[in-house]
């Protein structure tokens, strides 16, 4: 029998015809395979929790696939409202997960968490039952994305018997399809590629002949949770993020009975995503080679630097940081154990270096990259004003260091000129509130007009609107207390500007200041802004220390979901392109 006498509670959250069809044509048929739902040892006590709208629930009732599911396990309807067009869809899904997890916890059952766009390889449920019998409390599976357009037609062709019949795919057959149709979001994590991700939530090495990949991962899907082992259920995560954030860590900490699937032969589920479901900049930018990731030695240590930074940032909880050490094998063919060992040895070297102290060679290579990036100067007029030619040719993530000498002021402009639309970006620092005393009053974020002086911080003039990290908003040189100052080791500042209404908002660590709400246009920090502005960061040295700043403009690097309708600065189209892509401005006073 399974570990919980109350059986398994499978859960799924969806709404709308598109995702209802995913549920019926992908997830359900794969669960009908012999080694999945039909293998349940305690089917009478098990349930299938379906968090959806009344309309979608009613539409399921006559479907042949759903009727086949119903003959094996009892479905339970948990109603959720249809999200409005302006609602954050991720938080709407989290509301469903909150509802489902509270039900599973109340019934002291084992939760199996799925999404409608999943295919589960045959034998998956058998494996989960075995792990439950072995006393495992949580089972985690590496989460990667695969392209819907390429993979799903191939999968559908493998189900010749039609509706109501099982889709039977062995782990290796499913892996074969997945590896040939990796989504651009997953391809960014290829360690050997010259486009390795700026925010590497995964890293993988390829086996010879593309028969498999070896993954080290921060993205984990919580597939199985035994709620009978949980004395208190925390649902804070669902208020601001999704289940794969820190939900498991908040509830189980660093539990020894957490099992990670390290070989796809043991258990495999695959999630499919349409290309247009992800930010458009991924298609045009994510797989573009960059010089700092292509050069021998420098490229290696710059990628290592990105891994190190993520490992030590507040974006990763301690459990995920620990699990990053574990290699995960995803493969479709026979790969010799000796080849796996070679891959694992190479990957372990990378991981060990990322977890170890910074070496002199890595320090030197990263300083070379930063020097080249910061030396790419954007031309300015003799009046030390922002040049009117349109700003940098495109926005990009930047890592900058406030190392200026006494009397030196700097402004970084992050995108071409904004003339309309709604835009969102983030600035992260691991030490702006703690480095060598207090440097929060030397860093400002916001927007500036084209004639803003580069010798002043944002907000010191009438044509700049900013928020200082010591908790003040500024314009025309006047400071007004606004929001809360930074003070922790890891601080994330959010900025949203709506040029159509002339409004600007600031927030910190997931919360918008003063209960403001950019999505609904509520209570901006500034209003009445002109329609042509540059997003910018300013920093100055007051003899108080150094701050490391990470400017995040690509949506794949964001920690928080933007307000609905607000876009990435990578989508800005410049009027005229200047001579360089990245702008850093530096002016010496006196």
Q: Where are the domains of the chain?
A: 8-181+219-279, 188-209+289-375, 378-588
What would be the CATH architecture of the domain defined by 8-181+219-279? Answer: Alpha-Beta Complex (3.90)
DSSP 266-330: T--EEEEE-GGGS-THHHHHTT---HHHHSTTHHHHHHHHHHHHHHHSTTS-HHHHHHTTS-EEE
Q: Whole-number mean pLDDT of the chain?
A: 84
Give pLDDT, residue 285.
55
* pLDDT at residue 401 in the model: 57
Q: What is the pLDDT of residue 580?
A: 27
Same fold, 8-181+219-279 and 378-588: no
- The pLDDT tens digits of the residues spanning 331-363 come to 998 899 999 999 999 999 999 999 998 899 999
Give the whole-angstrom CA distance, residue 366 versus residue 279.
29
The contacts of residue 315 (CB under 8 Å, 6+ apart) are: 199, 490, 559
User: CA 449 to CA 475: how far, in whole Å?
Assistant: 12
SS3 content of the chain, % helix, strand, coil (to 5): 30, 25, 45
455, 385 in Cβ contact below 8 A? no
Look at residue 74 in the predicted model and tell me its pLDDT. 97
* Amino acid 545: pLDDT: 46
Q: Is 124 exposed, middle or buried (0-12, 13-18, 19+ CB in 10 A)?
A: buried
* CA count, 13 A, side-chain hemisphere, 376: 18
Which residues, other chains included, contact 377 with Cβ-Cβ below 8 Å and sequence gap of 6+?
580, 583, 584, 585, 586
Query: What is residue 435's predicted lDDT score, i.e. its pLDDT?
Result: 44
**What fold characterizes domain 378-588?**
Jelly Rolls (2.60.120)
| pLDDT given at position 274 | 85
Q: What integer pLDDT is reported at residue 398 of this predicted model?
A: 73
Residues in the chain where the model's pLDDT stays below 50: 1-4, 279-281, 283, 375-390, 403-408, 434-438, 541-545, 575-590
Give residue 546's pLDDT: 55
At 537 the pLDDT is: 87
Q: Which pLDDT score is estimated for 390?
A: 42
Q: Which pair of structure tokens corresponds to residue 352?
A: 């060990």
* CB-neighbour burial class of residue 334 (10 A; exposed 0-12, middle 13-18, buried 19+): exposed
What pLDDT was estimated at residue 209?
83
Burial 504-530 (b: 16+ CB within 10 A, else e): bbbbbbeebbbebebbebeebbbeebe
pTM: 0.70
The DSSP bridge pattern shows strands 567-568 and 422-429 to be parallel
């Amino acid at each position: 029998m399974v570990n919980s006498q109350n059986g398994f509670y499978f859960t799924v959250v969806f709404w709308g015809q598109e995702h209802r069809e995913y549920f019926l044509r992908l997830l359900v048929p794969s669960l009908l395979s012999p080694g999945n739902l039909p293998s349940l040892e305690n089917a009478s006590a098990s349930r299938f929790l379906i968090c959806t709208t009344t309309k979608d629930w009613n539409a399921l009732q006559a479907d042949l696939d759903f009727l086949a599911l119903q003959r094996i396990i009892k479905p339970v309807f948990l109603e959720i409202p249809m999200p409005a067009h302006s609602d954050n869809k991720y938080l709407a899904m989290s509301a469903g997960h909150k509802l489902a997890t509270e039900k599973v916890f109340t019934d002291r059952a084992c939760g199996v968490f799925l999404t409608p766009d999943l295919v589960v390889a045959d034998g998956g449920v058998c494996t989960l039952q075995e792990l439950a019998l072995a006393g495992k409390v949580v089972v985690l599976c590496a989460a990667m994305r695969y392209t819907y357009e390429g993979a799903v037609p191939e999968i559908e062709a493998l189900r010749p018997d039609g509706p109501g019949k099982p889709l039977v795919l062995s782990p290796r057959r499913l892996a074969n399809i997945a590896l040939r149709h990796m989504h651009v979001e997953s391809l960014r994590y290829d360690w050997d590629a010259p486009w390795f991700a700026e925010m590497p939530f995964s890293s993988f090495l390829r086996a010879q002949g593309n028969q498999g990949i070896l993954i080290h991962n921060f993205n984990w899907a919580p597939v199985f949770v035994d709620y009978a082992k949980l004395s208190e259920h925390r649902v804070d995560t669902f208020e601001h993020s999704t289940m794969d954030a820190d939900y498991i860590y908040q509830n189980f900490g660093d539990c020894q009975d957490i099992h990670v699937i390290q070989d796809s032969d043991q258990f495999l589920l695959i999630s499919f995503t349409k290309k247009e479901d992800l930010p458009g900049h991924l298609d045009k930018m994510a797989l573009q080679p960059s010089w700092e990731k292509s050069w021998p030695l420098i490229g290696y240590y710059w990628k290592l630097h990105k891994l190190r930074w993520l490992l030590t940032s507040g974006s990763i909880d301690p459990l995920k940081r620990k699990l990053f050490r574990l290699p995960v094998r995803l493969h479709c063919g026979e790969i010799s154990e000796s080849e796996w060992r070679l891959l694992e040895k190479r990957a372990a070297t990378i991981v060990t270096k990322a977890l170890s102290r910074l070496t002199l060679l890595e320090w030197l290579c990263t300083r070379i990259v930063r020097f080249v990036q910061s030396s790419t100067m954007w031309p300015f007029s003799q009046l030390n004003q922002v040049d009117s030619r349109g700003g940098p040719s495109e926005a990009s993530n930047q890592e900058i260091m406030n190392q200026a000498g006494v009397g030196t002021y700097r402004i970084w402009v992050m995108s071409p000129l904004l003339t309309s639309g709604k835009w969102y970006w983030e600035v992260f620092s691991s030490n702006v509130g703690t480095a060598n005393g207090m440097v929060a009053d030397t860093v400002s974020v916001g927007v500036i007009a084209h004639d803003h002086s580069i010798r002043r911080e944002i907000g010191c003039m009438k044509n700049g609107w900013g928020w200082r990290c010591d908790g003040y908003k500024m314009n025309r040189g006047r400071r007004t207390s606004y929001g809360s100052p930074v003070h922790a080791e890891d601080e994330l500042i959010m900025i949203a500007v709506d040029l159509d209404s002339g409004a600007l908002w600031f927030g910190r660590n997931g919360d918008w200041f003063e209960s403001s709400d950019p999505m609904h246009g509520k209570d901006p920090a500034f209003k009445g802004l002109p329609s042509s502005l540059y997003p910018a960061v300013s920093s100055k040295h007051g003899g108080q220390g150094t701050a490391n700043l990470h400017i995040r403009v690509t949506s794949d690097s964001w920690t928080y979901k933007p307000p609905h309708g607000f876009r990435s600065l990578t989508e800005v189209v410049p009027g005229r392109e200047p001579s360089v892509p990245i702008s850093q401005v530096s002016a010496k006073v006196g």
